[in-house]
Chains A and B, each alone.
Chain A
């Protein structure tokens, strides 16, 4: 295979179809930016859910030493072992309760560190500032009230928290936006595919003299198809590069600068640069494979080999 020959053929082909090539690049860039964006958004939701969100519905936080001064419900001091045993036994007696998990303050610290590893607040806490807790999974997730009325205000209990109440609306909003982005992405992918198919078709037609001669002198099917596939893959890769740029700019603008969400909502563990960069290679690979496959399928129909 003569690389230089193939490369010059690709260059000629792309220049000949400059407007179509641009259309392919833009549509690939948009569809992949949307795909990458919605993927990152769902990762963001997962990161914010933390360790317990999908596992339990109610959290019963127990008093620790620090709470004794600051929280009225803990004025009698930290929770005792007897109180803990009694709470656990009563929890397990409730018919709505399916499973009870115990989280020590050390475990709470570990989960906290994991969730906020990219955030400046991670270092500001020590294990003994975090409460031990019982994390309760219910048979019927809506029966949170049963647990909270039974345990709120009980000695040793700092707070009974409905796990979903706080974040559910936010997650619903994010989930909805992700779904819209994903749906738009599907349409953009269709547009990109149609453009690629048409570009390859025009390209194959405008080079039918060359390909006819190639066939006659016994060039292999691969050699005949390669320039078209490489052309599509190259245009796609440029589009993928643009998509990567859009994702990076998006994070930069939304979180660090411009909207400065990190400053405005410091308690949210926003995705770090590492999470964004992890997505980019996948975007690039897809940006090449998608047009290459579309070209291959098109050529089977429009280019006799």
Chain B
């Protein structure tokens, strides 16, 4: 599903690489937490998967494709098989809940019939049935993140990338979001989630990958947020 081979990435005008010689493999259907302090390289790791950035050396394979050899015009096709969720939700404030989800299908040219059918289904899945016509501003943070997850999942991606999806939410709401992501994972979708939330990582007991100053320092199945010293 995802394979990093000795990946190094340095941003322009930076001395220290954001990622240094990272190698790892994530299998289909896995649920992986990506942990590490700010500046440890988590975001760079996710951006490389999305091909927002390219490696300096080393190879990144996503969904069986070598991203270095993927031509620019094929990138959108690749991204259609990924879903992305962010800490700040990134909803369109002037569109309703249903329109926000439908937007993701409209812009990749899906027929209207498909959109009418799948949008209510996925809103039902994330627990927002009955709130289709609300505006994002009228929703709580947790509900907004559910809309974002619905939008990421509506195209049934093979892989869901979540960059601190619970970062703006209270612990109670976060648990609900994690349940939802777990459910999505159980449908067969691989989930890679960057997080700072110790409680969540400790409770879920999934694979944990820890980065520190750009290096892979821990890769532990059924891990916890940090080592117990």
Residues of A within 8 A of B (CB): 1-2, 5, 209-210, 212-221, 223-224, 305
Work out how many contacts link A and B, with CB atoms closer than 8 A: 56
Pairwise interchain contact A213-B108, C-beta atoms closer than 8 A: no
A214–B92 touching, CB < 8 Å: no
- Of A213, A217, A305, the residue contacting B155 (CB under 8 A) is A217
**Which residues of B come within 8 Å of A, CB atoms?**
50, 72-73, 76-82, 84, 90, 92, 103-104, 106-109, 112, 151-152, 155
When distances are taken between beta carbons in the complex, the residues of chain B under 8 Å from A223 are: 107-109
CB distance from A285 to the nearest CB of B (A): 27
Name which of B81, B109, B155 has the most chain A CB atoms within 10 A of its CB.
Answer: B109
What B residues does A219 contact at CB under 8 A? Answer: 76, 107-108
The one of B73, B92, B108 in contact with A217, judged by C-beta atoms closer than 8 angstroms, is B108
How many Å from the CB of A212 to the closest CB on chain B? 7
In the assembled complex, how far is the CB of residue B129 from the closest CB belonging to chain A, in whole angstroms? 22
Instruction: From B81, B82, B106, B152, give the contact of A2 (CB < 8 A).
Output: B106
B109 touches A216 (CB 8 A): no
Within the complex, the shortest CB–CB distance from A299 to chain B, in Å, comes to: 14
Smallest beta-carbon distance A30→chain B, Å: 35
Min Cβ gap B144→A in Å is 14
Give the contacting residue for A221; candidates B76, B78, B80, B109; CB below 8 A: B76
Q: Is the CB of B92 within 8 A of A218?
A: no
Contact A215 B79 (CB under 8 A): yes
Query: Within the assembled complex, what's the spacing in Å between the Cα atoms of A221 and B71?
Result: 13
List the A residue with the shortest CB-CB distance to B110. A2
Known: A2-B112, A223-B107, A223-B108. 6 other contacts (CB 8 A): A209-B92, A210-B92, A217-B107, A217-B152, A220-B76, A220-B108
- Bound-state CA distance A219–B107 (Å) is 5
The residues of B that contact A216 with a CB separation of less than 8 Å are 50, 79, 84, 90
Q: How many angstroms from the CA of A305 to the CA of B107 in the assembled complex?
A: 13
Q: How far is the CA of A224 from the CA of B90 in the complex (A)?
A: 17
Q: Chain A's nearest CB lies how many Å from the CB of B75?
A: 8
A221 engages B73 (CB within 8 Å): yes
Question: Closest B-chain residue to A217, C-beta based?
Answer: B104
In the complex with contacts A1-B109, A223-B107, A223-B109, A217-B90 CB distance below 8 A: no
Interchain residue pairs A-B with the least CB separation, the first 8? A218-B80, A218-B79, A219-B107, A217-B104, A218-B76, A220-B76, A214-B107, A216-B84
Q: Write out the residue numbers on chain B whose beta carbons fall within 8 Å of the beta carbon of A5.
A: 106
Instruction: Take A209-B90, A210-B92 as given contacts and tell me if A217 and B112 are in contact as well, using a CB distance cutoff of 8 Å.
Output: no
Q: Closest chain B residue to A219 by CB distance?
A: B107
Chain B residues, Cβ within 8 Å of A217: 79-80, 84, 103-104, 107-108, 151-152, 155
Q: What residues of chain A lie closer than 8 Å to B151, measured between beta carbons?
A: 213, 217
Question: Cβ of B90: which chain A residues have Cβ within 8 Å of it?
Answer: 209, 212-213, 216
Min distance, Cβ B112 to any Cβ of chain A, angstroms = 7
Most buried by A among B76, B77, B84, B107: B107
B109 adjacent to A2 (CB under 8 Å): yes
Closest residue of B by beta carbon distance from A212: B90
Measured CB to CB, the closest approach of chain A to B40, in angstroms, equals: 23
Cα distance, A213 to B155, chains bound together (Å): 14
Partner of A213, one of B78, B104, B112: B104
Chain A residues with CB under 8 A of B77: 218
Provide 25 A-B residue pairs closer than 8 Å at the C-beta atoms, listed in order of the A residue: A2-B106, A2-B112, A209-B92, A213-B90, A213-B103, A213-B151, A214-B107, A215-B76, A216-B50, A216-B84, A217-B80, A217-B104, A217-B107, A217-B151, A217-B155, A218-B77, A218-B80, A218-B81, A218-B155, A219-B76, A219-B107, A220-B73, A220-B76, A221-B76, A223-B108
List residues of chain A with CB within 8 A of the CB of B152: 217
For residue B93, give the distance in angstroms from its CB to the closest CB of chain A: 8
Considering only CB atoms, which chain A residue lies closest to B74 in the complex?
A220
Note all chain B residues with C-beta closer than 8 A to A1.
109
Q: How far is the CB of A9 from chain B (nearest CB, A)?
A: 10
Which residue, of B72, B82, B108, has the highest number of chain A Cβ atoms within 10 A? B108
Query: Quick one: closest B residue to A223, CB to CB?
Result: B107
| Assembly CA distance A220 to B77 (angstroms) | 8
Question: Please, how many angstroms separate the alpha-carbon atoms of A2 and B107 in the complex?
Answer: 8
A223 CA to B104 CA in the complex, in Å?
Answer: 12
A214–B84 alpha-carbon span in the complex (Å)? 11
Q: Which residues of A contact B81 (CB under 8 A)?
A: 218
Roughly how many angstroms separate A2 CA and B80 CA in the complex, as a whole number?
17
Cα-based distance from A218 to B108 in the complex (angstroms): 7
Interfacial chain A residues near B79, Cβ < 8 Å: 215-218
Determine the chain A residues whose CB is within 8 A of the CB of B108 once the complex forms. 217-220, 223
In Å, the complex CA distance between A301 and B72 comes to: 16
Q: Which of A210, A217, A224 has the most CB of B within 10 A?
A: A217
